[in-house]
Structure 1
Amino acid sequence: MSDTIYPQESVYNFLLKKKTPISKPPRYVSKFRPAVVQEKKLNKDLKRTMGPARVELPPPEKYLIKHSKEPKLPDSEYPRKDRMRTAQKPRVPARTDKPLMGIHTNRNFVKTVECGVPKKPQPISVDTCKGHKQPLENSGLVPKYIKKKDFGEIPEYLRQRREEERRAQEEYEDFVREQREQAAKERLSDEEREAILEGLKKNRDTLLHEYQGLSLVTDTLSKKARKQHLEEAMDELEKEIDLLQRFKTCFIVD
């Protein structure tokens, strides 16, 4: 029956259809297959191990002895007994041995032992809990520098620097004094200075007496202005009095 497509509701759709067999292409076989099979048969089990095909085994008479493969030291020129004897101390004399006779000496061993000075132990310092120690002299605990001859004295370079600073200050003061003397026309004598100082003090006392006589209640503008004026005048007089008392040399300038 042909593969005609009928409508969906056609009766012919229920008829059995013949299945066409699928034809596969022949399997691929290499033309070198017989040569590969023959080569594999020829080389089979050739040198299966990493070593030679046959290993010669030792005969039963040459069996492996214990410690035979351990390295051995070369033989020394001296036997072991002689080496041990030279490293050891001389043997203790036996009871039957006779002491050496006829040896005389002038040394007094008793006096030497009694008068010998014992060796003083070296002072050390332990600085850790595990016992690490070092000489006490290198630990910084021994006062070395205070025992020097020049300890506590001013170094020479500091003395020179202070002397230069003092000389420069004196030169500056002399220069300022000369400038003031040149700029000033007249110098106040001690009597005039004392007279001016006494006059300033009298004026201050007068203003203070007047200030103390003011009313305690400053409820008007005139009272406040009068009090402020007296305070400013007294402050000015205090500054001038302090200036004359601090400087004994005064000059009169324009």
Structure 2
Amino acid sequence: MSVVEIINHDEVIYTILDKPPPEPPRTPRYESQLEKQLKEAKRPELRRTFGYAETPLKPPDQFLKKGQGIGQPIKHTDHKCFVSGNLPPVPKRPPPGKKQEKPVVNFRVINIKKAVKTKGKPVEPRLVDTRDGHIKKIKGSGEVPEYCLRPDFGQMPAYLVKRNRKIQKALEKIRHAEENKESLCKLISAEDRLKLLEDLKHNWSLMQKAFLQLPMLTDTIPKILRKTKMEQELKQLEKDILAESNPYIYIYE
């Protein structure tokens, strides 16, 4: 093991480390060339106050006249229209003639005639109901009977009369349709009766054949239900055949 003896104690860590690289030079700041001219052209004397102590007024003859305001900008264009061909001549102005004389109207006489013919405004009946001169219109105040004196007082309104007429017309139409209604019960002819009887007998024979083909032993519920249903249908067909034997048969449509 070796021992190092330190005699000088003036070592600094910052002297041992490498120095950082120098910063690159900065580019010069942009300066406008017109800035100095603008500063010289400014007049600082105009910025010394907040404005005029008294607003100067224009003389009365310098008012804004017609056409002196800010209007629409005029559009200028370089377009030129080149005329090609022969155009008809410009029509000449007609010779000046005498203007038609206006008839002389005496407005005084006309106004006097109108004033004589006009009728005065009717005086609206009013009522003074207080000592202070409070005026109240009689019409609509309830002091005078008005509603009971109307020509249509106590009469049925027009819309109810119109509705009753419609109802009456509908009832008459129904009554007329019932009176002229054809009977639903009709007598069938002999040919139709024979054909209907033949069809019933044919159906009965088919049903009877199917009934006879049923098994003799009915030990299940479906068999019992089927047999009872076929028996009921056979009975109904027999009743219909007996009824069709009558020479007079009516049907309902």
The higher radius of gyration belongs to 1
What is the TM-score of this pair, normalised by structure 2?
0.27
What is the TM-score of this pair, normalised by structure 1?
0.27
Higher share of residues assigned helix: 1
